[in-house]
Amino acid sequence: MKIKKAIIPAAGYGTRSLPITKVLPKEMFPINGKPAIHYVVEEAVASGIEEILIVVSRNKNMIIDYFDRSLELEAFLTETNKKHLLEKLSVPKAHIQFVRQPYARGLGNALEMGMPFINDEPFAVLLPDDLFFEKKQSLKQLIKAYEKKNSSVIGVQQVKQELLKNYGVIKEKKVSARLHEIVDIVEKPQSDPPSNLAVVGRYVLHPDIFTFLKKIKPGVGGEIQLTDALKEMLKVRKCFGYEVTGERYDIGSNKDYFELLKKMYIAEG
């Protein structure tokens, strides 16, 4: 089945990036004049996604405004001889909808908001604070793997031992160069991580995940963790990890955000 729907959860508080995230969602952090989430929507569309649901919260209306047309501004540019700037207002071509997560109860809970939108189809998830500097879209790589295996596929990358405690980490059996069958998955292991393969912010999931999201209790940090639902799903369904290519930047980390700005500035001029 073709993967044509995606959920982009953007309702978190962005506590690591305070105080700016008190007023500016981290998904709107600028990168060469465009907000981070613009690049993630672009990646989804370039990977074949046609319908996108962005999960927002009360103070994230700026994201909704960004993807809407601004008729006033368009009229202003037209009337003031600045028509050449109209193209700067264009956003990636997809059908984009929004839903509010009333309280930031975790990534798993944000995804639950998308259950009626997904309607029993396999779907993609893209975390808008994880950006990849890569021509071969990370999501496209996962979609190809999903089509081959007809099972959920999670993006993973090798991460230094000392940093694994910040990620979901998989225990795996290698299938081919980049593909791994997941045997177990642990959220933020504080000791003895089961491998050096950490979950990064791209997923293609079987819709059964919603059944498990409903069943699980709050986990690490008191949040409904997608990792815990995946762990339950593993008991009945195969799930794979695919080592996506490309440099990843977590814009919730000041260092990564700065490095990405430098890289994009050099690349785009």
Is residue 118 classed as helix, strand or coil in its secondary structure? helix
Euclidean distance between CA atoms 150 and 141, whole angstroms: 14
Q: From the CB of 135, what's the least distance to ligand UTP, in Å? A: 23
Nearer to ligand UTP, 220 or 261 (CB): 220
Nearer to ligand UTP, 48 or 218 (CB): 218
What is the maximal distance between C-alpha atoms in the chain?
Answer: 64
Q: From the CB of 218, what's the least distance to ligand UTP, in Å? A: 11
Q: From the CB of 138, what's the least distance to ligand UTP, in Å? A: 15
Euclidean distance between CA atoms 170 and 241, whole angstroms: 8
- Residue 246 pairs with which residues in a beta bridge? none
**Residues 51, 147, 132: CA angle, nearest 5 degrees:** 60
Residues in contact with ligand UTP by the rule CB under 6 A:
9-17, 27, 55, 101, 104-107, 109-110, 127-129, 252
Q: Which residue is nearest to ligand UTP (CB)?
A: 12
Q: From the CB of 173, what's the least distance to ligand UTP, in Å? A: 28
Nearer to ligand UTP, 99 or 261 (CB): 99
Nearer to ligand UTP, 101 or 157 (CB): 101
Euclidean distance between CA atoms 161 and 128, whole angstroms: 25
Nearer to ligand UTP, 56 or 142 (CB): 56
Euclidean distance between CA atoms 267 and 142, whole angstroms: 25
* Rg, the chain, Cα only: 19
- Contact between 123 and 3 under an 8 Å Cβ cutoff? The reply is yes
